[in-house]
């Protein structure tokens, strides 16, 4: 059986993928998006999700392009930190 999924290099996304997201991390984020896709992201072109990074156990906000179920381009990763009872983004990093 042939695998018809395109690689990241073959896909045409509007934004460059974040370089600071590991493969393991991207798989976990994709899994978390899939879990709520139909309730929150179906039909949307982009989204944001907050989840824990399995590599360092820190919560991050991940911004992504949505190209259908299981087809996401994570283009931004921002550490979520708690300051004075409110949440703020810190350390914005994007692919260049």
Digit-coded pLDDT (tens) for 34-90: 999 999 999 999 999 999 888 888 899 999 999 999 999 999 999 886 444 444 454
Residue 4 clears pLDDT 70, i.e. is over it: no
Contacts for 16 with CB less than 8 Å, ≥ 6 apart: 75, 94, 95, 96
Q: Global pTM?
A: 0.72
Please, are residues 57 and 49 in contact by the beta-carbon 8 Å criterion?
Answer: no
């Amino acid at each position: 059986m042939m695998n018809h999924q395109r690689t990241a290099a073959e896909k045409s996304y509007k934004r460059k993928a974040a370089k600071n997201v590991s493969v393991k991390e991207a798989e976990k984020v994709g899994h978390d998006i899939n879990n709520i896709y139909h309730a929150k992201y179906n039909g949307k072109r982009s989204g944001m999700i907050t989840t824990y990074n399995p590599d360092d156990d820190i919560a991050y906000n991940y911004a992504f392009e949505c190209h259908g179920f299981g087809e996401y381009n994570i283009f931004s990763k921002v550490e979520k930190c708690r300051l004075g009872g409110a949440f703020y983004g810190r350390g914005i990093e994007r692919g260049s």
